[in-house]
Structure 1
Amino acid sequence: MTTCLTFLSATAEETTGVFGDPFSLASGPLRTADSPHPGFPPYSLAVRGPSARCARTADALGLETVPEPALRDFDYGRWYGRTVADVVAEDPYGYSAWLTDPDAAPHGGESVRDLCERTARWLDALPSDTDRALAIVEPSVVRGALVHAFSVPARAFRHLDLPCPPAVVSLILRGDGWHVRYGHGSASEVHQATPDEPVSPARARPADRRTAGREYTGGTYGPVA
């Protein structure tokens, strides 16, 4: 069976400037919906990261999802809730190590490798009868999934740029391995990747913001059919 797993990313530290989730469910939903957006197909599995912003994203799209602890953002340890600027001012060497060494965890939490391995274990444990699945997660989890799909070292994590949130990345598992499709945050893009569509196999090539909505075909990016 072919599995189509679509990741939809919420915002994170890169855009908020804060490590961890600065939002609270107490601030209310982004939008209340009684039923899923009509552009979304049915899913055999619909999960989200346990953070408040992932819950808010799911609520804004009118999607019923189940929290999945394995798809949580980094454990930022002592840095949680702090701004990037404060951390850089207090521990510039630690922050530099965090950006360059996949095994570094200067905050006392998780390293990049830790997150990548955790995400890979979840991907490998997907039920074999899963046909179409949706996961609303932090961008860090999407990158961790791409490291696994591309079979690249954990140090490639920082070079896998995503389109600005909400970004859509679909991983399609077939007999020859994972295939990757990039998209945007619209319902039509989430709907676009189907298990039966021809897509190019994952290759060890970082994504780029200019490639959003296009597909890697071995050397160049072309429009998604």
Structure 2
Amino acid sequence: MELHLIRHPRPDVPAGVCYGQSDVGLAEAPDAVAARLRPILPARFVLHASPLTRARLLAAELGSPLLDDRLKEMHFGEWELRPYAELGPAIDTWVTDPMGFRAPGGESAHDMSERVLQWLDALLANAPADPVVVVAHGGPLRAIAGHLLGIPAERWLSLDFACGHAARLDVEEWGVVLKWFNR
């Protein structure tokens, strides 16, 4: 299966603000990002997307997406829309346990990855004949790519998906090949 992973366009959020599942707007026009991506995508594909506006608007420019809540970004609870500088020493705890830490009222990266990988398992169990394009967020895309490539979860943060860019993985019976990243 040919799998294209696209991170949403740049959000309209000040630098240094935690936005997770907050439904923020875009600082980049989704039609312009879609026009730039179309030449590197296959002519036909099955399209999946997060329902959050920043992913959904780009996906709608690319086709008719199947929206799935499991593709949403990590929920940061009380940290949503707060500057990281205001979060105090809790940030240090997050740094020491990036997969297990949970912001108050939110979910951990482990929780987020479990729901995303449930989505991936369902996709792989019923893999369509056509290529698959996914428009989502940095966290879920790291979980998908990291898992498929066999990267330990604590290293998934090293997969830095750029806003408005795509990666391609070919999922074969014998393994997964990263064809390109951040195009």
Match of 2:95 in 1: 99
Q: Distance in 1 between matches of 2:50 and 2:148?
A: 19
Which of these residues, 6, 9, 12, is aligned with residue 7 of structure 2? Answer: 9
RMSD: 3.2
Task: Classify 1:52/1:16 alpha carbon distance in 2 versus 1 (closer, same or farther; 3 Å).
Answer: farther
Higher helix share: 2
Match of 1:63 in 2: 63
Kindly report which structure 2 residues correspond to 1:8-157, keeping only aligned pairs within 5 A, or say none: 8-10=6-8, 11=10, 16-20=15-19, 21=22, 23-24=24-25, 30-31=30-31, 39=39, 40-59=41-60, 61-87=61-87, 91-92=88-89, 94-101=90-97, 102-126=99-123, 127-157=126-156
Q: Distance in 2 between matches of 1:45 and 1:16?
A: 33
How far did 1:71 drift?
A: 0.6
User: Taking structure 1 as the reference length, what is the TM-score of the superposition?
Assistant: 0.65
User: Taking structure 2 as the reference length, what is the TM-score of the superposition?
Assistant: 0.78
Q: Identify unmatched segments of 5+ residues in structure 2.
A: none
| Paired residue secondary structure (1:172) | strand
Contact 1:97 1:106 (C-alpha < 8 Å) held by counterparts:
no
Which has the higher Rg, Structure 1 or Structure 2?
1
Alignment length, in residue pairs?
A: 175
Task: Classify 1:85/1:147 alpha carbon distance in 2 versus 1 (closer, same or farther; 3 Å).
Answer: same
Task: Classify 1:43/1:121 alpha carbon distance in 2 versus 1 (closer, same or farther; 3 Å).
Answer: farther
| Paired residue secondary structure (2:92) | helix
Query: Which is bigger in relative contact order (C-alpha 8 A, separation at least 6)?
Result: 2
Task: Classify 1:75/1:43 alpha carbon distance in 2 versus 1 (closer, same or farther; 3 Å).
Answer: farther
Contact 2:79 2:103 (C-alpha < 8 Å) held by counterparts:
no
Q: Distance in 1 between matches of 2:106 and 2:93?
A: 14
Q: Over residues 90-112 of structure 1, what are the superposed CA-to-partner deviations in whole Å (9 max), with x where a residue is unaligned?
A: x32x2122233111113331111
Task: Classify 1:171/1:14 alpha carbon distance in 2 versus 1 (closer, same or farther; 3 Å).
Answer: farther
| Paired residue secondary structure (1:125) | helix
Q: Over residues 104-135 of structure 1, what are the superposed CA-to-partner deviations in whole Å (9 max), with x where a residue is unaligned?
A: 11333111111222222211211133430101
Contact 2:76 2:103 (C-alpha < 8 Å) held by counterparts:
no
How far did 1:41 drift?
A: 2.7
The residue identity in structure 2 corresponding to 1:115 is M
Percent of pairs identical after alignment? 22
Q: Over residues 58-104 of structure 1, what are the superposed CA-to-partner deviations in whole Å (9 max), with x where a residue is unaligned?
A: 34x443323211111001111112122222xxx32x21222331111
